[in-house]
Chain A
Amino acid sequence: MSQFAINLIFVGGSFLLYILIAIWAKAGSTKDFYVAGGGVHPITNGMAIGADWMSAASFISMAGLIAAGGYANSTFLMGWTGGYVLLAMLLAPYLRKFGKFTVPEFIGDRFYSKNARLVAVVCLIVASVTYVIGQMAGAGVAFSRFLEVEATTGLIIAAVVVFIYAVLGGMKGITYTQVAQYCVLIVAYTIPAVFISMQLTGNAIPPLGLFSTHADSGMPILDKLNQVITDLGFNEYTADIDNKLNMVLFTLSLMIGTAGLPHVIIRFFTVPKVADARWSAGWALVFIALLYLTAPAVASMARLNLMTTIYPEGTAAQPIEYDARPGWIQTWEETGLIKFEDKNSDGRIQVYNDKNEQFASTTAQERGWNGNELVVNNDILVLANPEIANLPGWVIGLIAAGGLAAALSTAAGLLLAISSAVSHDLIKGSINPNISEKGELLAARISMAVAIVVATWLGINPPGFAAQVVALAFGIAAASLFPALMMGIFSKRVNNIGAIAGMLSGLIFTLVYIFMYKGWFFIPGTANLPDNAANWVMGISPLSIGAVGAIVNFAVAFVVSNVTEEPPVEIQELVESVRYPRGAGQAQDH
């Protein structure tokens, strides 16, 4: 059977499964549509959160980022998991007790202000739309590589599948497809990792393999990797870094951003009790950790594998000839994600760090090297892993289905957050408060359909700034939503004016800092300062500014609230009531 047929069976089979689930889990009420009826078991919800959270970025890109950055990029591992501690203790249980359907609804009620609710809706939509573009683009890459269809065709197929289960089933359909998608993606991620760990270290558990001995050399695998790459002029993989302030703030921004992302928060509204919201945060992190503990092992082992593929006789000997390159390099060259240029015309592939001037002027010159000749896109590391390790064809099919599961499950969660903000917060909350239950359900389905069309269009025509906007999504969630939600629960004193002033100043501060370095609204050529460490204020990168924005938000909200009137008594009672679990009952409208 051809590889194409195998891939088609895996991807087609998984899509069929999602559609069957959609037919089984049709939403009958707005409560089904927004919170899956409110009766999801905490372990089931934990699994759904895992798929909801782990996006194309976690599945496809993260291991590649760690492979390239080594220790310095551990920020992604800690940042994208540490937020769950904040969710479990600072937000999820109380928002579940509040017992309504959306994040802006809490902000609007707690700060007794339609304007606060609108600010929250705008933040939610900007953060979620930017995030969804990345998912659609990731799905496009997986389609074009594994199913040999144009990315556009692939995206339309994916959109139709999402359309079926998200429009029909709302949160209910999404919950159970996310459970299935979690299973697909975690199996797809771990199987190649287990094989590679076995091959390199003899240890079948990748996280243990990472700290054990490299079978061929008898050295610890991280030592071996350090040795190989420093021979080629790269920094040590495990090297410490100097700019610790930026590393701390970047990790903190990712953590606070994670906790403030609405598509994650609304998943906690689907469990029956406050205690279940706490448990499901724990289960979610267990399921997430299965991938996040595997990723750093995949990263270092794949990088070592890549280097030994290029330098089979060791770094001191000649690299392989271009004509003798393995098949997977050829396949990925066709997608443009691997590029080769024979700069010194010797027919061999030299891979080294040509930005290291000292290395370039010594070793590289002595060996007649004229620049790094192979450019490998970080994103292919996980997708190409089974081919690099010579694994059977069905593992490749599984990776294709897994990558799509990761992208589509996150896309569906984001689309639900967007459509419920439109139908529940804008239409029911502002435009037509007297809309009937049936009318609102229809409005929710229509908003979902529109959101899918917009997301697909953006996936097909990705704006040039797609990679940068992810920083924007985390920055906005960290600087605007997280502080407002936390103050709404932990302070009785913060009032409507304080909350709005806080959200706006946190948001504007963060946006201005990002735009100063990345260009205004990401329009090329409009940046005020070059985006590099020498120009950053105190060495803080625009990607790390969300945490500072959050501090600005907290500070402004407290100062403004303290010089203005106390919130009314009924609002202080509302704050009391979210703090005590008794009487949460089911998530309800009013």
Chain B
Amino acid sequence: MSGHSYDAEKYWKANLRLIFGSLIVWALVSYGFAILLRPMLAGIAVGGTDLGFWFAQQGSILTFIALIFFYAWRMNKIDEQFGVHEE
């Protein structure tokens, strides 16, 4: 990496952008939909209760799984793009 400091910086910025975006979704489904915004989603019925309850007990966990796999997949691609991946 040394000697490619320009690329190294771009690589790290790409990582930070990806993390930032992922954590917005992470916070939105758990702290947002499941807790703070639950009253706003109260009108959307899901099996005897509302969408906020579903996010609190299932939706957020499913989203977390999707987020981690998405991050791992994107980040491993970015590693290759910038040539910092491991052989």
Query: Which residues of A does B touch, CB under 8 Å?
Result: 66, 71, 74, 77-78, 81-82, 84-85, 88-90, 93, 207, 210-212, 219-224, 226, 238, 240, 244, 247-248, 251-252, 273-275, 278-279, 281-282, 285-286, 289, 292-293, 296, 576-577, 579-584
Contacts and interface: CB of A to CB of B under 8 A. Distances in A.
Nearest to A89: B19
B69 interface: yes
Given A74-B57, A282-B72, 4 more contacts: A210-B47, A252-B31, A281-B68, A289-B65
Contacts of B11: 579-580
7 contacts: A74-B56, A78-B56, A84-B64, A90-B19, A273-B86, A282-B68, A582-B1
Contacts of B56: 71, 74, 77-78
Contacts of A582: 1, 83-86
Contact of B72 (A66, A81, A279, A579): A279
Nearest to A220: B48
A78 B34 contact: yes
Contacts of B69: 282
Interface of B: 1, 8, 11-12, 15, 18-19, 22-23, 26, 30-31, 34-36, 38-39, 42, 46-50, 52-54, 56-58, 60-62, 64-65, 67-69, 71-72, 75-76, 79, 83-86
A293 B86 contact: no
A78 B71 CA distance: 19
B11 to A, nearest CB: 7
A207 B58 contact: yes
A84 B31 contact: no
Contacts of A244: 35-36
A275 B65 contact: no
Closest A-B pairs by Cβ, 3 of them: A220-B48, A211-B47, A74-B56
Contacts of A84: 64, 68
Given A251-B35, A282-B69, A296-B57, A85 B1 contact: no
A293 B48 contact: no
B31 A238 contact: no
A274 B58 CA distance: 29
Interface hub of B26, B39, B68, B71 (most chain A Cβ within 10 A): B68
A289 B38 CA distance: 22
Contacts of B46: 211
A29 B19 CA distance: 37
A247 B54 CA distance: 16
Contacts of A207: 58
B61 A77 contact: yes
Contacts of A274: 79, 86
Contacts of B31: 248, 251-252
Nearest to A223: B48
A53 to B, nearest CB: 14
B34 A292 contact: no
B39 A240 contact: yes
Contacts of A285: 61, 64-65, 68
A581 B11 CA distance: 11
Contact of B49 (A93, A238, A579): A238
B68 A211 contact: no
Given A222-B48, A289-B61, A292-B61, A581 B79 contact: yes
Contacts of A66: 57
Contacts of B84: 580-582
Contacts of A78: 30, 34, 56, 60-61
A81 to B, nearest CB: 5
B26 A82 contact: yes
A293 B58 contact: yes
Contacts of A584: 86
A81 B86 contact: no
Contact of A238 (B53, B61, B67): B53
Nearest to B19: A89
Nearest to B4: A580
A155 to B, nearest CB: 33
Nearest to B79: A581
A104 B51 CA distance: 42
Nearest to B48: A220
A180 B35 CA distance: 36
A138 B56 CA distance: 27
Contacts of B72: 88, 275, 278-279, 281-282
Contacts of B35: 244, 247-248, 251
A85 B71 CA distance: 9
Nearest to A212: B47
Contacts of B57: 66, 71, 74, 77, 210, 296
Contacts of B79: 274-275, 581
Contacts of B83: 582
Nearest to A80: B61
